[in-house]
Amino acid sequence: MRKPCNFTLYYSLFVTFMIMFVVVNSQLTTDFYAKTCPSVLKVVRKEVQNAIKNEMRMAASLLRLHFHDCFVNGCDGSLLLDGNSTTSEKFAAGNLNSARGFEVIDNIKKAVEDACSGVVSCADILAIAARDSVLLSGGPTWKVRLGRRDGLIGNVSGANGLPAPFHSLNTIISIFQVVGLNVTDVVSLSGAHTIGLAKCATFDNRLTNFSGSGGPDTTLDTTLVTELQNLCPSTSDGNNTAPLDRNSTDLFDNHYFKNLLNQRGLLESDQILYSSNDAIATTKTLVETYSNSSSVFFSDFVNSMIKMGNISPLTGSNGEIRKNCRVIN
């Protein structure tokens, strides 16, 4: 007897294939501006250097902008567009009063336009700035693939679906899979939290009555709980900040993963990579591997950043090259 067709299975395979097709055929190259704007890498590096010199935290902020851009509409600079709560991704839950560094991107864009007007996209500037932020923080480097064009609209509903500190591990893995990234990408890209700060509002749910337990999250080191309770009292506005990677706040290294082994991951979405039941079959072994080898972490991180930068870019005649990253031409 002929078995019925499993539509859900075939549809899932089709979606996966199409995502892979987009990634593989993205038409991005490392020498895209070799003739049209040969100085672009040097110009961007100088501006990123100045920004980080002014504020070390900016390295993490610029890296995060690229991440939040690529996960919504692909890497098209749509996050940079100004607007209102119905048109601009800046108003989405994961970006509002959280995403930062837009003024730095403005400065970079101006410097790039002065060097070669109307040639380099804002989406490519985000990709280069993210790479330079990692390198200038002591992390690895890689040749950024370029040739993206800028999108014409934002996607607020899509931005509201960004991975959040309160999501379960399986939810985060699923969000990554939708854009063609796998479990290794989840863990390696989470390692970006080796630099930067987070507001109390993103982790204070772990400090008291966690999940209705009446007490703090038991996967959070008790000494750290006390420190964070003092930093984030219940009467505060939630805007105080704590380092994502304690004792190695501004250095891009594998210390973030060592923290997870010692129950010192700041965000719930950090610690679940090691301590949750779902991690046993998915992410725990990778956390242990990265905690023991910075070289393996760096290698996987670079591969994941290149994959992420290849998510559904606009190329050819699609989109545009914005003159101002905040508005369409």
Which residues are identified as catalytic?
68
The answer to the question of whether 294 is labelled as a binding residue is: no
Instruction: Name residue 293's amino acid.
Output: S
Say how far apart CA 143 and CA 213 lie, in whole Å: 48
Residue from 79, 84, 83 nearest 99 by CA: 79
The answer to the question of whether 193 is labelled as a binding residue is: yes
Say how far apart CA 145 and CA 309 lie, in whole Å: 8
The answer to the question of whether 89 is labelled as a binding residue is: yes
| C-alpha count within 13 angstroms, C-beta hemisphere, residue 278 | 13
Spatial contact of 110 and 325, defined as CB atoms under 8 Å apart = no
The answer to the question of whether 69 is labelled as a binding residue is: yes
Say how far apart CA 73 and CA 148 lie, in whole Å: 12
The answer to the question of whether 194 is labelled as a binding residue is: yes
Q: What is the DSSP letter of 211?
A: G
The answer to the question of whether 74 is labelled as a binding residue is: yes
Token pair for 174: 């699923």
* SS3 state of residue 55: coil
| Numbered residues of the known binding site for Ca(2+) | 69, 72, 74, 76, 78, 89, 194, 245, 253
| Numbered residues of the known binding site | 69, 72, 74, 76, 78, 89, 163, 193-194, 245, 253
| Numbered residues of the known binding site for heme b | 193
| Numbered residues of the known binding site for substrate | 163
